[in-house]
């Protein structure tokens, strides 16, 4: 029986998996057991920011492994503090809470928001249509996509959806009962859509007027992905708190939420916690990853490589202007929206040895390891062009 048949037997049929019997990964490539290799522009959904088996990450993990794997919340260790220190020094936030996933970071922030709202007589949470913040019941309540929510209602009360980039709808939705606005500066699962500068300005103004909290979900757009350490740095809007994960752990399961001074004292002892959150092994990997990614040359390079890739994709869009609607994104978070056959394009590219996936139904999403070089980008673009030719010419 193939591994895929075995998997069908034991697991819920919930994932659209690539038919690769994975052996290992190295750099930007994934290898199957027959030695075939795939150029991986999905990177474990933006997790493998430094690719597979990066020596710096592996060394950090090995070193920590010899000390201890797990301690739990009754202890604190240098790697955890050093990573928190680093994150605070890279941002304007005051406090950090480590989690095991992005969803848990959002979940923790929902609790912080709820308590702050109870103290300030505010309770309405706003999120944008097409958002993706996670799949636990709290995070799902602000994941404003019908397909994700429909079979799981009732969800959290007092959550309101605003159409994406619709400023007047946003202005109508906010009032002095608004406790928080959750947003992704660039949507991930929603299809690599950028919140407009005008919308960000409207959010900023409304915060000044009503005093609510602005929470940025940087789970996908963060840790160097867009050419700055966090994407919000490229916008005029500084959020009150952010959720981070994916690339943060350099491949290990690590998330975090960070808050500014408005929320720094929000939790009393015992009001929030996690057995695994801030696992030392994950923090050691995270510290190594963040140290590498957060340097100015590294981030500048992400920006440059993103520009290069965007130029090639724009050329492709000119050649196939009957199919490609738009190329958009920042740094190495790039979407190519197509009129048709998104799934076929993904499948055919897989046959060519290139991995990416579809976001928002019609957008080819490219979130390669941040260590890709221009040759890898050339190869990916060539493979993609071949696929377009096969399907459309
Ligand atoms: C923007 C965003 N928020 C939240 C999540 C949920 O994170 P996780 O799957 O680590 O729980 C994701 C995952 O894709 C995401 O892209």
**pLDDT tens readout for residues 139-196:** 999 999 999 999 999 999 999 999 999 999 999 999 999 999 999 999 999 999 999 9
| C-alpha of residue 219 to centroid of ligand 1, in Å | 6
Residue 256 has pLDDT above 90, yes or no: yes
Considering 266, 293, 320, which residue would you say is the last residue of a domain? Answer: 293
Q: What is the mean pLDDT of residues 61-66?
A: 98
Is the distance from CB of 245 to CB of 99 less than 8 angstroms? yes
The string of pLDDT tens digits covering residues 199-245 is 999 999 999 999 999 999 999 999 999 999 999 999 989 999 999 99
250 and 153 share one domain: yes
DSSP track, 234-269: GSS---SEEEE-GGGGBTB--EEEEE-TTTTT-PPT
**184 in contact with ligand 1, CB cutoff 6 A:** yes
Number of domains, the chain = 2
| 3-class secondary structure, 157 | coil
Q: What is the mean pLDDT of residues 330-346?
A: 98
**134 in contact with ligand 1, CB cutoff 6 A:** yes
What is the number of the ligand 1 atom nearest to the C-alpha of 184?
Answer: 1
Tell me, what's the pLDDT at 4? 94
Average pLDDT value for the chain = 98
d(CA 368, CA 129): 26
Of 131, 243, 254, the residue nearest 187 (C-alpha): 131
200 is written with which tokens?
A: 């960000």
CATH number at residue 177: 3.40.640.10
d(CA 51, CA 370): 7
What is the number of the ligand 1 atom nearest to the C-alpha of 106?
Answer: 4
d(CA 12, CA 351): 26
134 and 214 share one domain: yes
Residue closest via CA to ligand 1's atom 8 equals 102
| C-alpha of residue 67 to centroid of ligand 1, in Å | 30
197 is written with which tokens?
A: 């500068």
**Residue that is written with structure tokens 């919140």 in the block:** 195
23 and 65 share one domain: no
- HSE-up of 270 (CA within 13 Å, CB side)? 0
Q: How many percent of the chain have pLDDT more than 90?
A: 99
**133 in contact with ligand 1, CB cutoff 6 A:** yes
215 and 82 share one domain: yes
| C-alpha of residue 55 to centroid of ligand 1, in Å | 26
Query: In angstroms, how far is CA 75 from the centroid of its own chain?
Result: 29
- HSE-up of 140 (CA within 13 Å, CB side)? 13
Helix 374-392, helix 342-352: angle, nearest 10:
120
Global pTM reads 0.98
Q: What is the mean pLDDT of residues 131-135?
A: 98
Q: What is the mean pLDDT of residues 322-341?
A: 98
156 and 269 share one domain: yes
Tell me, what's the pLDDT at 164? 98
Residue 1 has pLDDT above 90, yes or no: no
393 is written with which tokens?
A: 């010419």
| C-alpha of residue 220 to centroid of ligand 1, in Å | 7
Considering 271, 293, 315, which residue would you say is the last residue of a domain? Answer: 293
The neighbour count for residue 203, using CB atoms within 10 Å, is 24
**Residue that is written with structure tokens 């602000």 in the block:** 142
28 is written with which tokens?
A: 């930007």
Helix, strand, coil % over all residues of the chain, rounded to 5: 40, 20, 40
238 and 376 share one domain: no
Of 271, 8, 306, 340, the residue nearest 115 (C-alpha): 271
Pocket test for ligand 1, best of 135, 246, 248, 277 (most atoms within 8 A of CB): 246
Domain containing 286 equals 56-293
Of 275, 290, 245, the residue nearest 109 (C-alpha): 245
Residue closest via CA to ligand 1's atom 9 equals 102
Tell me, what's the pLDDT at 187? 98
CATH number at residue 46: 3.90.1150.10
Residue 112 has pLDDT above 90, yes or no: yes
| C-alpha of residue 170 to centroid of ligand 1, in Å | 24
Considering 293, 310, 329, which residue would you say is the last residue of a domain? Answer: 293
Tell me, what's the pLDDT at 242? 98
d(CA 264, CA 155): 27
Tell me, what's the pLDDT at 52? 98
83 and 9 share one domain: no
Q: What's the pLDDT band for 110 if we cut at 50, 70, 90?
A: very high
124 and 231 share one domain: yes
201 and 307 share one domain: no
125 and 273 share one domain: yes
Buried b (16+ CB within 10 A) or exposed e, 94-111: ebbbbbbbbbbbbbbbbb
Q: What is the mean pLDDT of residues 120-137?
A: 98
Tell me, what's the pLDDT at 343? 98
218 and 80 share one domain: yes
148 and 207 share one domain: yes
Tell me, what's the pLDDT at 72? 97
**127 in contact with ligand 1, CB cutoff 6 A:** no
**220 in contact with ligand 1, CB cutoff 6 A:** yes
DSSP annotation of 275? S
**Size of the chain, expressed as the number of residues it contains:** 393
């Amino acid at each position: 029986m193939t591994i895929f048949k075995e998997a069908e037997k034991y697991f819920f049929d919930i994932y659209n998996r690539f038919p690769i019997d994975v052996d290992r990964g190295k750099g930007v490539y994934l290898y199957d057991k027959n030695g075939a290799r795939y150029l991986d522009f999905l990177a474990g959904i933006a997790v493998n920011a430094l690719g597979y088996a990066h020596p710096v990450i592996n060394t950090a993990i090995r070193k920590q492994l010899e000390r201890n794997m797990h301690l739990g919340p009754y202890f604190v260790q240098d790697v955890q503090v050093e990573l928190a220190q680093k994150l605070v020094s890279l941002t304007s936030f005051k406090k950090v809470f480590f989690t095991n996933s992005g969803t848990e970071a959002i979940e923790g922030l929902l609790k912080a928001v709820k308590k702050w709202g109870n103290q300030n007589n505010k309770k309405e949470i706003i999120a944008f249509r097409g958002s993706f913040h996670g799949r636990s019941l709290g995070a799902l309540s602000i994941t404003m996509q019908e397909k994700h929510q429909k079979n799981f209602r009732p969800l959290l009360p007092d959550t309101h959806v605003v159409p994406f980039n619709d400023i007047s709808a946003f202005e109508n939705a906010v009032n002095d009962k608004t406790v928080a606005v959750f947003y992704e500066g660039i949507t991930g699962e929603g299809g690599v859509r950028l919140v407009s500068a005008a919308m960000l300005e409207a959010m900023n103004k409304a915060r000044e007027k009503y005093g609510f909290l602005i929470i940025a979900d940087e789970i996908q757009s963060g840790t160097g992905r867009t050419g700055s350490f966090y994407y919000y740095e490229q916008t005029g809007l500084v959020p009150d708190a952010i959720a981070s994960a994916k690339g943060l752990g350099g491949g290990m399961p690590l998330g975090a939420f960070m808050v500014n001074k408005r929320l720094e004292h929000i939790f009393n002892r015992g009001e929030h916690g996690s057995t695994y959150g801030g696992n030392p092994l994950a923090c050691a990997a995270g510290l190594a990853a963040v140290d590498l990614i957060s340097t100015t040359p590294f981030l500048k390079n992400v920006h440059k490589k993103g520009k290069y890739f965007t130029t090639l994709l724009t050329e492709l869009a000119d050649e196939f202007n009957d199919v490609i609607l738009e190329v958009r994104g920042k740094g190495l978070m790039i979407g190519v929206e197509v009129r048709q056959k998104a799934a076929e394009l993904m499948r055919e590219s897989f046959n060519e040895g290139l991995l990416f996936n579809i976001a928002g139904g019609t957008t080819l999403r490219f979130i390669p390891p941040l260590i890709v070089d221009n040759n890898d980008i050339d190869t990916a673009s060539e493979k993609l062009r071949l696929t377009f030719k096969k399907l459309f010419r």
